[in-house]
Amino acid sequence: MLKALWRKTTGQDCAVAQEANTSQFNLKDHLTHTGQYHLERLQMLVELRFEKTFSDNTDSSIRDLIRFTSRIQDQDIQRELLLLYLNCPPAAQNFLRSDDLIDSGHYIHTQSSDPKA
């Protein structure tokens, strides 16, 4: 919360939003402490239930994990994916919705940014 306030007061929020629109966006750098926690839980669930590992914690590994989990019909995994998404800053959320990471039929991807919807 303090980080978001700092960005808004210093004008860095616009720079982060612009960075989200570039192909150089580094998702790992934008995770909050809580987001990192849910990422670890998501990795653990996938490893336990599907014996698939994404543990090297690089940005490409995180993208592969999110791409994989958005297609799984498991309630616990979907809950952790949603908690990870909700604990990302707005720039990271926009990046996740705009890129091909999240399946097009997924409820996160289909959320509209239009307040009327």
pLDDT in tens, 66-104: 889 988 889 999 999 999 999 988 888 888 877 677 766
pLDDT of residue 78: 92
Q: What is the reported pTM?
A: 0.68
State the number of CA atoms in the 13 A half-sphere of 91 facing the CB: 23
pLDDT, average across residues 7-22:
52
pLDDT in tens, 16-75: 445 444 457 788 888 888 989 999 999 999 999 998 887 777 888 888 898 899 888 899
pLDDT of residue 77: 93
Per domain, the residue ranges of the chain are 28-98
Give the closest residue to 78 by CA, choosing from 116, 111, 45. Answer: 45
Residue, of 117 and 88, whose pLDDT is higher: 88
Rounded-to-integer distance, Cα 4 and Cα 43, Å: 26
